[in-house]
Chains A and B, each alone.
Chain A
Amino acid sequence: GAGVSQSPSNKVTEKGKDVELRCDPISGHTALYWYRQSLGQGLEFLIYFQGNSAPDKSGLPSDRFSAERTGGSVSTLTIQRTQQEDSAVYLCASSQVGGIQPQHFGDGTRLSIL
């Protein structure tokens, strides 16, 4: 597709379960970012990938959060032992290269923890 694709669009799960969120960036974009948006709030940076490596993981809120990127393309964000405070919209963005470039966002995964 032409834009950033994220799946699933919605995810409801019970507290304590693990979830995996997927991001398919724009073809050819080497930089990939994950953000989290809580209800009515701005976006909070989680992690940045350049190719398959993650030079900046500073935004991950706890060790329950991890992410990987394979083949310089698709990325997955995994949350283990989910907590209610993990409920949010998880947004992925990509840009042609890292640095001062517009980031283009997908429509996010709305995660609800019961």
Chain B
Amino acid sequence: SAVISQKPSRDICQRGTSLTIQCQVDSQVTMMFWYRQQPGQSLTLIATANQGSEATYESGFVIDKFPISRPNLTFSTLTVSNLSPEDSSIYLCSVDVSPYEQYFGPGTRLTVT
């Protein structure tokens, strides 16, 4: 397994500002993933972050809105830019511990006012 931490755990942000979410893992992992869970909804994959390369975004998500960094094998950040109320969600990072197992961080609850 892996121990994953996220900061902040929650935040309330003003419209038009940005929030950067940090994800730290206690072991080196190849791939890290960012998901969004809108209120009362399921999870949607935003992007995949590999160390040393540009993040790969899923359909409907763009780098200008969700820039991602992956400076090393234990850390990644997701920035949600130009916030609007529709961005209010829980953002979760996850890692693949093995080819068959994926573990999720505790999530960051974002509220945009």
The answer to whether A and B come from one shared complex is no
